[in-house]
Structure 1
Amino acid sequence: MTPLDPACGYSDGDVDTNDTTTPSLETLADNRFSRRQTIMGGAKATGMALMGTAMLAACDDDDTGSDAGIIVNAGTNAATSAGRVVTLTGTVVAGSASSTTWVQTDGPDVELTLDGTTATFLAPAVEEATDLEFTFIATTSDGIERKAVTYVRVSPAVLGFTAVEHSLADTVVVPTGYSVTVMTRLGDPLTAATSAYANDGTDTDFANRIGDHADALHYFGLSAAGAPDDMANTRGLMVQNHENITEEYLHPAGPTTIGGARPLDEVRKEIECHGVSVAEYVDSGNRTWSYVQDSSFNRRITPNTPMTLSGPAAGSAWMRTAYSANGTSGRGTINNCANGISAWHTNLTCEENWAGYFRRDSGDDANRTPAQLTSLQRYGVRSTNGNYRWSSASTTDTTITRWNATILGADATEDFRNEPFQFGWVVEIDPYDPTSTPRKRTALGRFGHEGAFVRAVAGQPVGAYMGDDSRGEYLYKYVSNANWNAGDADNADRLAVGDKYLDHGTLYVARFNADGTGEWLPLVFGQVPPRPASGSYPAYTFADQADILINPRLAADALGATPMDRPEWTAGNPVTGEIYLTLTNSNNSNRPVDGTNAANPRSYWNSGNPNGHIVRLREDGDTTAARTFAWDIYMFGADTLDCDTAFEQTNINISDLDTSNDFSSPDGAYFSRESAVSGQFNPVFWIQTDDGAMTDVTNCMMLAAMPGTVGDGNAFTVTNTDGAQTTTQGTHVGALATPASLRRFLVGPVECEITGVDMTPDGRTLFVGIQHPGERGDAGNVTSHWPESQTNASATSRPRSAVVAITKDDGGVIAL
């Protein structure tokens, strides 16, 4: 910390050099008079001293204080900004005191931590500059008190770290003044009886270990008694998705092939590495974090875990399998990418790129109904092997044969032809009850779910905003029939609350208009026309509401929704209610120069939109039930080192990024919790990347932003060219980036993706997921040694996906 006045003992991490805060002589005189009145009379101050001056410091409560034999000093008045740690130091200038203390005597309440003559506190969130008054009190052995007052002016929060530079290092790099602690890693045991992870490919029993490819995460607070506690900062449950695997590192020498069939033990390991984990995290003091291996809350949810299907599509003929003859249950969840958090303390995990896991033999098309064949093609269930060829490992074990969706029996109850229709859903999990059965919420639709941001406002329907992560797909919104009742937040039967809000409602898809407005189109049977024939797809007529929810891509096609550049995470600003959608990128086949639209306006380098962008929208009336919205493009990704011509700087680097904040392929998106200083008034927005376009100069990264609002920029015309053709596209862009509004906060290790982010309720610990470091290597050519390399430059281990806890060394709020 930087001392403002060492002689008076006041220190803070920020010095206010804005000369507009210098008080006039008249103000000084008025405050001097007011302060003497206050001290002599023992009442609160009637006027607050302004900052930037030492003239009011070191004032005793009585100018002739020698009669008490003691004189005290409270330090210099000073300034800081919200979220910073402030230290007050009192001094007994003359005489002696038997005790000293600090008390707050005006301004927004803060929690003082006392230590002798010093007191520390966290500067509170404020909307405008606000003065806080503190009194230092010394008491003599005779019970005589002497007091001195100091003032701290707190300004609204600002980003308070030095931007991290591009990095190709095999470590997680954070700003100076921050520390990284590696938490749960691939293979870490979740029971007392599970052995430590050898990390040499010999490990088994992943149903009791942390899975691979750390993705979306959320910290669910626990009270000392083990009950849900939204404000718990030192104990909680880390719920984390495990999207995929780096197969080469899971086995001693990579995967083996025996006569065309995969070894059963290898396949079981790979299956169990997918899914979700729940692990208890604890802070032993001063943000020293670890996980509890033998916690009774620890749990793995894998592709083999029993599930309940709920909502309108449950029981549909499309959902019947040899495992569930009535189509109301299933097994497991897979390719879990982003998430959502309900207002009733449950986790919504989202099944993203699930389609490739299924095998369909070459003759299967001929046995399908036209409707199912169209659906399978539209969702990409076309492989004759399936990811990792899992179905080859057994002909009798149904946990293996289920991955073969070929029609083999007389009807759907004799095979797994319909197994692909049981995936692509949002899955609700109660993290506090390890015995609960997760529910697949079919009312929210089936597609490549990236995430499901939930907005719950008292008196309004619950809204869930969801991206479909494939090129040319759509943004969806689910709106519950029931309005949110805040009393449901504390219902002990959390999944029953989910039944109320997530099983009964309307699914919509977004159309972005060129004028900066948008519409939500209802996916409701009777309101969706047949999808006309196009390309290789025949015309499709919907049979019922279950059909629409199983095939919302087809329904969205029919309604003319806006195809987007890979819709990824959704996040909501807790203050404005605005929704942010990351669009990671699109290749030229999906976004040629003559195929842009206002919400996806760029096509360049004959590569489509390789750097991606972020769209934001604001519902009309600020209600989740709105059928219309306003939108703009908050930020465009760009590799500024490649934008070296005036044309590129204008039409590619549209947001005016520089090397302190340039990024590519935005993926993860998150706003700081509204309980934290960083989540109030102008919340900090976090952007994570999954990039391949800038990896020659930097690993993937995370940035912190303080965004404005929809409409804070201007209309803009983009000129696109592929060298042979040049077109223009009108759009709407947000305010340009500046170092004050956007900075790089973190860069990850080699070949990783940064994905998954949450914080403790006080914002003083940030949890971040590091996925697939060293993903391009193998057992014989290990390309990353993270997380061991985080603290050991000579590391030789295989890489592991993991969660890290990031803290500020002075204990302040992250990013401020």
Structure 2
Amino acid sequence: MNKLNDLAISATDLNDIDSNASQDNHFNSILNARLSRRNWLRGSAVTAATAVMGSMGLSACGGGSDAAAVTPTPEKLLAFTAVPKSLADVVSVPAGYTATALYALGDSLRAATPAYKNDGSDTDFDNRAGDHHDGMEYYGLSAAGAPLASGAERGLLAMNHEATTDEKLSSHFLHVNGGTTSLPRPAAEVDKEVAVHGLSVVEVKKTGSAWATVNNSVFNRRVTPLTDIEIAGPVRGNALVVTKYSPTGTKTRGTINNCGTGKSPWGSYLSGEENWAGYFTRSATDNAARGDKSVASLNRYGRSQGGASRHGWETGGSDDKYARWNLSKIGASNNGSDDYRNELNGMGYIVEMDPYDKTRAISKRTALGRYAHESAAFSVPTVGQQLAVYMGDDSRNEYIYKFVTTAVWAAADANPADRMATGDKYLDSGKLYVAKLAADGTGQWIELAMSNALIQAYSAYKFADLADVLVNARLAADAVGATKMDRPEWCSVNPANGEIYYTLTNNSNRTVNPSGSSQLAPDSANPRAYTDMKGSSAQNGNPNGHIIRFKEGTGAAAATSFTWDVYLFGAESGADASKINLSNLTADQDFSSPDGLAFSPYTGICWIQTDDGAYTDVTNCMMLAAIPGKVGDGAKSTLNYATAAGGNLAVDTFIGKKPTADTLKRFLVGPVGSEITGISETPDGKTMFINIQHPGENTALANIGDPSKYTSQWPANTGYGAGKRPRSATIVITKNDGGRIGS
């Protein structure tokens, strides 16, 4: 997510916009299914099962022969010494580890593009690394350059480029003197800012013990907000996505504000479009011009009429590529084929790309719904069972979702001849569900479909068909009374038991005495409302966030019921243990605003990353390593709050087993102003790639000419590249003794 977060409200704080005014047998089956397991292990990424069996000291078979099974050497996970909290402008990792910058904003992807000067004069960002490196996945290559899931010394990094560091419209580090901060914006500035968004694929290779990117690799690729992309699934061809660019409603232009990622079991790359609405504008009279239900949809997705866009890109000129940022109904057509009134309906999806083949079209998988997507996490693939894709909507008081495929998993699809066709098979047909959590620790997955009577009867918005439900998934979730959560961020599936973990990063609108539709009282799944002091500044609500986890009921990935508990509560170690530090975190474990979260497929470690504004007077953002237990390993607890009327609000919740020094500790602390995000590993577990996003983001535009006033100079202060302007970058982490990361 963007560091412009829930704790520091500003005009460009896209996560803080609250548009929700509604009132409302995995792992064991794999071990037992011998043939299915063997076929599965032949497929992509060595798989979580192999890793978890290895960390448990179990045999794992690979290839096609049971005779090849070996017993890995036992290792102790989390054996490193915890990294202390830090405010230094460096990346800190445990003793015995090395972290090195690898791929930063502006780095060239082709020989013809010159090295990055990092002074604001650089151009050709269609062939350079984009900005705000975020979610990321690794895809192995053989020595000869062919796709190889087990390739651990040569591979591709596919990643999201979420946004830019900006102030007063301009992405100031990209321009020589900080850029233009009034409208209209110059076309050259707009073109540069647009191009640094999107995705990139870059080849990386290990030589000796050192990793480097491969300039001019045939695999290197940029995808920007101007790239042609297919609309796939039930929304394809629907009237809701008809635009001047695509009168047939089958294509859209580009992807933007991409945050978390996912890696499909068939080896494709999934990217979530998060805070896309703020890049567009509408005229102050657009509601009357429209005069239809689209006004309710636009308001629900945070684009009320008259709202200014984040960067003013619509003012870059008369060309169609600038016009598309204006959502106003200005054409004479009845269907929107002569303007961009429907453009917003083409944003907000999970995007699928084949990282190995740039000739294959990219698809937006509309069956998974439209909202502020974060990561997409798959259930553990089991032959003959449906797959689930777990997702969250990152805004205050939004929802948790899952998609269940119509198709059942086939072992042959782990290594398909056509990855995008396999994506068509699994991701274009299925059922979308939203979560409703109960106070007794249970929950229901509620299907979002026209057959649901609550959706049919919803008075605030009349749905026409399934495509309408998917495009307006937030409204459909409102209709069925889903549970409003504290900003669902990334999610990941524990390969050991199939349980699903969601980070809930924070929520400034939890309060014991709510007033107005945007404020909510604590509830069982979001039980804290308190004041956290940052210096003399009071931060109210749930400033530190928490991590919730689900265990599916009968039906595995297709289950319609689950149980839940709170795995960890973010908090300062010295905070009140009865109301705030409910997980009893120590100084080696405390954290705030969990964001990125991923289970290692190779060690089973759960990696937790933060994007914080509440604890940054004490420490920069961080990454922790955890060995979690399971849903239900803790106990029920009751939090009591005094109400304004003099009564008591008792909130029951379920808290996971308290962590120990052996099950949770801090692994990394980042540079000043940065968010820690994006995580991927090589299949041998010996190399980890992490993204450091927006270091020095609080540098004022007025100081753009004085590097001594930058709040960060990372990674230039490590000797990486030219200039001193801070840059988002990917780092590579290795263990000095050659062992696996986290051991």
Shorter-normalised TM range? 0.7 to 0.9
Higher RCO (CA-CA < 8 Å; seq separation 6+) = 2
Equivalent position amino acid for 1:697 in 2: V
One-letter identity of the residue aligned with 2:582: I
| Alignment equivalent of 1:385, drawn from 299, 308, 312 | 308
Displacement of 1:719 after TM fit? 2.7
| Distance change in 2, residues 1:601/1:505 (3 Å) | same
1:650 aligns with 2:578: yes
Alignment partner of 1:447 is 2:371? yes
* CA displacement at 1:285 relative to structure 2: 2.0
**2:502–2:547 CA contact under 8 A, matched in 1:** yes
In 2, the alpha carbon distance for the partners of 1:616 and 1:254 equals 43
**Which residue number corresponds to residue 84 of structure 2?**
165
> AA paired with 1:158?
L
CA apart distance, 1:385: 2.6
CA distance in 1, matches of 2:114, 2:339: 37
Evaluate the alpha carbon distance shift between residue 408 and residue 744 of structure 1 in structure 2; reply closer, same or farther with a 3 A threshold: same
1:224 equivalenced with 2:143 (yes/no):
yes
CA 1:723–1:155 in 2, change beyond 3 Å: closer, same or farther?
A: farther
Cα deviation, residue 369, structure 1: 3.9
> Please, which runs of 5 or more residues in structure 1 have no aligned partner?
1-121, 131-151
Mapped to 2, the partners of 1:614 and 1:573 lie a distance apart of: 13
Q: Among residues 458, 461, 466, which one is paired with 2:391 in the alignment?
A: 466
Percent identity, please. 50
Of 561, 568, 573 in structure 1, the residue corresponding to residue 494 of structure 2 is 573
Does structure 1 retain, via aligned residues, the 8 Å contact 2:508–2:542? yes
3-state SS in 2 of match to 1:651: coil
CA separation of 1:392/1:532 partners in 2, compared to 1, >3 Å: closer, same or farther? Answer: farther
2:633 matches 1:709: no
Q: Per-residue displacement from partner, 1:532-564 (whole Å, max 9, x unpaired)?
A: 78xxxx622211101100001111111111000
**1:786 equivalenced with 2:714 (yes/no):** yes
Alignment of 1:269 with 2:192, yes or no, is: yes
Find out whether 1:331 has 2:257 as its counterpart: no
Change (3 A) 1:156 1:729: farther
- 1:791 Cα deviation after fit: 4.9
Q: Tell me how far 1:570 sits from its aligned partner.
A: 0.7
> Would you say 1:804 and 2:731 are equivalent positions?
yes
**1:601 corresponds to which residue?**
527
Matched, 1:408 2:334: no
Aligned positions of 1:532-543 closer than 5 A: 539-543=460-464
Distance in 2 separating the partners of 1:218 and 1:722 = 47
Please say if 1:488 is aligned against 2:430: no
- Give the Å deviation of 1:795: 9.8
Distance 1:209 1:240 in 2: 13
**What secondary structure sits across from 2:607 in the alignment?**
strand
Structure 1 position 422 matched with structure 2 position 343: no
- Pairing 1:22-421 to 2, within 5 Å after superposition: 125=54, 127=56, 155=74, 157-246=76-165, 247-257=171-181, 260-286=183-209, 288-382=210-304, 384-395=307-318, 397-411=319-333, 412-421=336-345
The reply to whether residue 734 of structure 1 matches residue 656 of structure 2 is: yes
Mapped to 1, the partners of 2:401 and 2:72 lie a distance apart of 44
TM-score (structure 1 length as normaliser): 0.78
| CA-CA distance at 1:728 after TM superposition | 2.2
Give me the whole-angstrom Cα distance separating, in 2, the residues matched to 1:393 and 1:125: 55
Q: Deviations over 1:116-149 (max 9, x none)?
A: xxxxxx999353699xxxxxxxxxxxxxxxxxxx
Residue 616 of structure 2: aligned partner = 695
Number of residue pairs the alignment of both structures matches: 654
How far did 1:340 drift?
Answer: 1.0
How far did 1:378 drift?
Answer: 0.3
Alignment CA distance shift 1:374-1:126 (3 Å): closer
Code of the residue aligned with 2:523 in structure 1: it is: N
Aligned match of 1:814: 741
Q: Which residue number in structure 1 is paired with residue 587 of structure 2?
A: 659
**1:721: Cα distance to partner?**
5.4
Equivalent-residue separation in structure 1 for 2:583 and 2:681 (angstroms): 28
Find the counterpart in structure 2 of residue 616 from structure 1. Answer: 549
How far did residue 590 of structure 1 move?
Answer: 7.1
1:243 and 1:274 in contact (8 A); partners too = yes
Q: Take 1:604 and 1:622, find their aligned partners in 2: how far apart are those partners?
A: 38
1:640 and 1:427 map into 2 onto residues whose CA distance is 39
Q: Is the 8 A contact 2:405 2:431 kept in 1?
A: yes
Structure 1 residues 219 and 516: alpha-carbon distance in aligned structure 2, compared to 1, 3 A threshold: same
Q: Name the CA shift for 1:220/1:736 in 2 (closer, same or farther; >3 Å).
A: same
Q: Give the gaps of 5 or more residues in structure 2.
A: 1-50, 60-70, 166-170, 515-519, 532-538
Large movers: runs of 4+ above 6 Å? 722-725
Letter of the structure 1 residue corresponding to residue 340 of structure 2: F
Counterpart CA distance in 1 for 2:84 and 2:239 is 55
Q: Once the 2 structures are TM-superposed, how far is the Cα of residue 580 of structure 1 from its aligned partner?
A: 0.3
2:567 aligned with 1:634, yes or no?
A: yes
Which aligned pairs between 1:719-758 and structure 2 lie closer than 5 A? 719-720=640-641, 727-758=649-680
What displacement does 1:592 show? 5.3
Structure 1 residues 714-723 or 309-318, which shifts more? 714-723
In 1, Cα distance between equivalents of 2:187 and 2:496? 51
2:52–2:495 CA contact under 8 A, matched in 1: no
Asked if the contact 2:369–2:432 (Cα under 8 Å) also holds between the matched residues in 1, the reply is yes
Q: Tell me how far apart the structure 2 counterparts of residues 365 and 621 of structure 1 sit (CA, whole Å).
A: 46
Please report how far the alpha carbon of residue 370 of structure 1 lies from its aligned counterpart in structure 2 after TM superposition.
3.1
Q: 1:591 to 1:526 in 2, by over 3 A?
A: farther
1:727, distance to aligned residue in structure 2 (A): 2.4
Return closer, same or farther for 1:576/1:797 CA change in 2, 3 Å cut-off. same
**Whole-Å Cα distance in 2 between the matches of residues 129 and 237 of structure 1?**
30
**1:436-486 CA-partner distances (Å, limit 9, x unpaired):** 210001100000001111223221112110000000000000001000112
Q: For 1:664 and 1:671, how far apart are their aligned partners in 2? A: 19
Confirm or deny: 8 A CA contact 2:134 2:162 kept in the other structure: yes
Partner amino acid, structure 2, of 1:499 = D
Aligned 8 A contact 2:512 2:643 in 1: no
Change (3 A) 1:545 1:126: closer
Single out whichever of 453-462 and 409-418 deviates more from structure 2: 453-462
Residue 323 (structure 1) shift: 0.4
Q: Secondary structure at the match of 1:182?
A: strand
Tell me the equivalent position of 1:775: 697
Aligned equivalent of 1:518, options 422, 443, 468? 443
SS at match of 1:495: helix
| Contact kept? 1:472, 1:565, Cα under 8 Å | yes
> Residue 789 of structure 1: CA displacement?
1.8
Task: Report the residue type matching 1:710 in the other structure.
Answer: V
Deviation at 1:193, TM superposition (A): 0.4
| Distance change in 2, residues 1:564/1:289 (3 Å) | same
* Cα separation, 1, equivalents of 2:173 and 2:302: 28
What CA distance in whole angstroms lies between the structure 2 residues aligned with 1:482 and 1:211? Answer: 36
Instruction: Give the 3-state SS of the residue equivalent to 1:640 in structure 2.
Output: coil
Give TM-score, length-normalised by structure 2: 0.85
Paired position in structure 2 for 1:505: 430
Q: Secondary structure at the match of 2:540?
A: coil
Q: Cα gap change, 1:316/1:461 in structure 2, threshold over 3 Å: closer, same or farther?
A: same
What displacement does 1:588 show? 2.7
Matches of 2:718 and 2:619, distance apart in 1 = 17
Q: What's the offset of the Cα at 1:622?
A: 6.5
